[in-house]
Amino acid sequence: MSSRVPLTYGKKVLELFRNPKNLGRIEDANAEALAGSLACGDMIAIYLKIDESTEKIIDAKFESYGCAANIAAASILTEMIKGKNIQDAWKISWRDISNELGGLPPVKYHCSVLAVGSLKRAIRAYYANRSKPDWLPEELTQEEKHVIEEEKLMEILAKRIQKTEL
Amino acid sequence: MTYSDLSKSIDELIKSHGLPKREVYLDHENSGLIIPEAIKAMNEAYELSGKGHPSITHLMGWRSYQALYEATVNIASVINCSPEEIVYTHSGTEANNLAIIGSSELSPKRKKIIVSSIEHLSVIFPAEKLEKRGFKVIRIPVDGEGFVNLDFLSKHVDKETLIVSIAAINHEIGTIQDLKAIRDIVRDKDDRILIHTDACDALGRIPLDMKKLDVDLASFSSHKVYGPKGVGALYVREGIKLEPIIHGQLSTQKLWPGVENTPSIIGFSKAVEIIHRNFEENVSKMISFRDRLINGILSNIDYTLLNGPLGYKRAPDNVNISFLYCEGEALTVELSMKGVYVSSGSACTSRVLEPSHVLLAIGRKYEEAHGSLLMKVSPFHTTLEDIEYVLEVLPDAVRRIRSLSPIKPKVR
Ligand SMILES: Cc1ncc(COP(=O)(O)O)c(C=O)c1O
């Protein structure tokens, strides 16, 4: 079986695709971020409401343009971070998301990477005009780098297509 | 994941979202559904005529040879060639590979391969393989409806050209190419250049007469005419000397060794016969389903774009529409829960990060390609009720997927 790509979607992914949790915007969010692009076919917007004194995430919502796995990944991420303090939310990796979804096939890993990337962006946005905590690294994490690469790649490809037109 | 995990998860999947009240299959592009007549012919072949090895000298072998030969005569009479000009392969993919790679050593001076930029990947990938071995591959651009740029072709075809490969009908957007014009341009330059056409999606949709078309090579795939999967054929005009690309013990055909899958070939031949039996009726049936679907979608759903030409230059079975602000893979999953099975040119369905190269080649933006749905109607499987059901469930499905997105269309 090693040469076969596994079945794309399990039960959990389909359930969340059908009935996503925490869909929509938070009008008075104090942190938000967008990752991916329409051109990638993969985009997640994440909205956070953070309690300033306790640094706890009291509400989290998302919107997503992407495949079913993308929607499920964003949905489960919002469930995982609600009630957590920011530092613990920061520690969530793309693998945690994949595991929480009951496993994703390798071709869909980038969906959970995008979800984590959007969360990390939102957390950085939150601290953009506040004093940065010690645990927040200066250097971008793997997930954030991956998101930027994907966004850049699409720009390059789109330009290449325009150039080859007659 | 083990096999038992896998079957459990499919069971769970069905349980969790329930079986839909109606099932409409419009994914004949990826997998054409077989017709009962072909199954019956195959069963008979397994039980009777097709059991033996067709090139072994005993009664069982002779019977098998005869059944194989009759099946071939049948196909040959439909496409107007001789049975000796047909080589069976195990798929349309293999037929295309044989045409491109099997011709590569024909003439050491000819190192140029010309393909259209919207060919099936089973033409593009073998061409790219040869490109790595030193061949020059020219990709002819197409216009907004998928028609190849004939001036460009004319400019690039020359004495160094080995082969020109252009599909009679494009598999994704249904463009019916002007093969006669293409042939005239190529033959005018040099009549030793091979002309190949991938006719997998053309057989059963437009009349295909090998003598009139005057091409050297043409590929066919059984499941595209509602025969069994895993059978294909390459028409090789008499006198054209290809090299085999796989090697082993020969049976009845020099270009493709191994025991012929006689029962499947018989099923293929039966399917070819059936689709041509009431050819005009089948075609007009497909056209009426196609146009009802296209008109229903374009007039009822905002922000939609038809991909490919309209009218008589479009394949009778092809519907390809982009839904803006709507990711196509999510839409196929949503529709599947309503029992509507279709495919998409989105990057997400193809297991690579880039969306359909065909849609990009006709100038669609990335997001337009990601939001595309490909549907193919069948004269044997599709009904008007099916089409009406799709038109009933599609607007809600599109609305739901659009509602998830951070970027929404302006309300009109
Ligand atoms: C135009 C075209 N060429 C080739 C093929 C490949 O045929 P097969 O599926 O038999 O490998 C297909 C099938 O989808 C096709 O549509």
Q: What is the 3-state secondary structure (H, E, C) of chain B?
A: CCHHHHHHHHHHHHHHHCCCCCCEECECCCCCCCCHHHHHHHHHHHHCCCCCCCCCCCHHHHHHHHHHHHHHHHHHHHHCCCHHHEEEECCHHHHHHHHHHCCCCCCCCCCEEEEECCCCHHHHHHHHHHHHCCCEEEEECECCCCCECHHHHHHHCCCCEEEEECCCECCCCCEECCHHHHHHHHHHHCCCCEEEEECCCCCCCCCCCHHHHCCCEEEEEHHHHCCCCCCEEEEECCCCCCCCCCCCCCCCCCCCCCCCCHHHHHHHHHHHHHHHHCHHHHHHHHHHHHHHHHHHHHHHCCCEEECCCCHHHECCCEEEEEECCCCHHHHHHHHHHCCEECEECCHHHCCCCCCCHHHHHCCCCHHHHHCEEEEECCCCCCCHHHHHHHHHHHHHHHHHHHHHCCCCCCCC
pLDDT at A166: 37
Rounded to 5°, angle at Cα B325 from A150 and A112: 40
DSSP A90-130: HT--HHHHHHHTT---GGGHHHHHHHHHHHHHHHHHHHTTS
Decide: B256 and B244 in contact? Cβ < 8 Å: yes
Under DSSP, the state recorded for A24 is: S
Decide: B182 and B188 in contact? Cβ < 8 Å: no
pLDDT at A1: 37
Strand pairing class (B24-25; A56-65) = unpaired
**Out of A10-14, B12-16, B212-216, which region has the weakest mean confidence (pLDDT)?**
B12-16
B28 lines ligand 1 (CB under 6 A): no
CATH 3.30.70.420 fits A11-165, yes or no: no
DSSP A108-119: GHHHHHHHHHHH
Decide: B142 and B173 in contact? Cβ < 8 Å: no
pLDDT at A5: 61
pLDDT at A45: 96
CA distance B155 to chain A (A): 14
B91 lines ligand 1 (CB under 6 A): yes
Helix (H, G, I), strand (E, B) or coil at A45: strand
pLDDT at B4: 56
Query: What digits encode the pLDDT tens for the residues B222-274?
Result: 999 999 999 999 999 999 999 999 999 988 999 999 999 999 999 999 999 99
**Out of A127-141, B12-26, B256-270, B317-331, which region has the weakest mean confidence (pLDDT)?**
B12-26
Question: Which atom, in ligand 1's list, is nearest to the CA of B223?
Answer: 10
CA distance B151 to chain A (A): 12
Strand pairing class (B343-344; B232-236) = unpaired
Mean pLDDT, chain A, rounded, equals: 89
pLDDT at A165: 41
**Out of A5-9, B120-124, B279-283, which region has the weakest mean confidence (pLDDT)?**
A5-9
Query: What digits encode the pLDDT tens for the residues A41-56?
Result: 889 999 999 999 999 9
pLDDT band at A158 (very low <50, low <70, confident <90, very high): low
CA of residue B92 to ligand 1 center, whole Å: 5
Arithmetic mean of pLDDT, B5-12: 66
Q: Is A34 on the interface with B (CB under 8 A)?
A: yes
Decide: B170 and B309 in contact? Cβ < 8 Å: no
Q: For residue A11, give the nearest of B12, B353, B354 by CB distance.
A: B12
% chain B with pLDDT above 70: 95
Mean pLDDT, chain B, rounded, equals: 93
Annotation: CATH topology of B36-276: Aspartate Aminotransferase; domain 2 (3.40.640)
pTM: 0.92
Cβ neighbours of residue B324 closer than 8 Å, sequence gap 6 or more? B303, B304, B305, B367, B368, B371, B409
Give the residue range(s) of CATH 3.90.1150.10 domains in chain B.
3-30+279-404
Arithmetic mean of pLDDT, B79-90: 97
Q: Is A10 on the interface with B (CB under 8 A)?
A: yes
**Out of A131-145, B199-213, B370-384, which region has the weakest mean confidence (pLDDT)?**
A131-145
* Structure-token pair, residue B3: 């096999």
Q: Is A63 on the interface with B (CB under 8 A)?
A: yes
Give the residue range(s) of CATH 3.40.640.10 domains in chain B.
36-276
* Structure-token pair, residue A105: 């096939």
Arithmetic mean of pLDDT, A25-35: 95
* CA of residue B408 relative to chain centroid, distance: 34
Arithmetic mean of pLDDT, A112-131: 95
**Amino acid letter for position A55:** E
B201 lines ligand 1 (CB under 6 A): yes
Q: Is the pLDDT of residue A164 over 60?
A: no
pLDDT at B319: 98
pLDDT at B85: 97
Decide: B229 and B30 in contact? Cβ < 8 Å: no
Query: What digits encode the pLDDT tens for the residues A79-104?
Result: 999 999 999 999 999 999 999 998 88
* ipTM of the predicted assembly exceeds 0.90: no
pLDDT at A7: 65
Query: What digits encode the pLDDT tens for the residues B306-361?
Result: 999 999 999 999 999 999 999 999 999 999 989 999 999 886 655 456 789 999 99
Arithmetic mean of pLDDT, A21-42: 92
Q: Which CATH number fits domain B3-30+279-404: 3.40.50.1980, 3.90.1150.10, 3.30.70.580, 3.40.50.300?
A: 3.90.1150.10
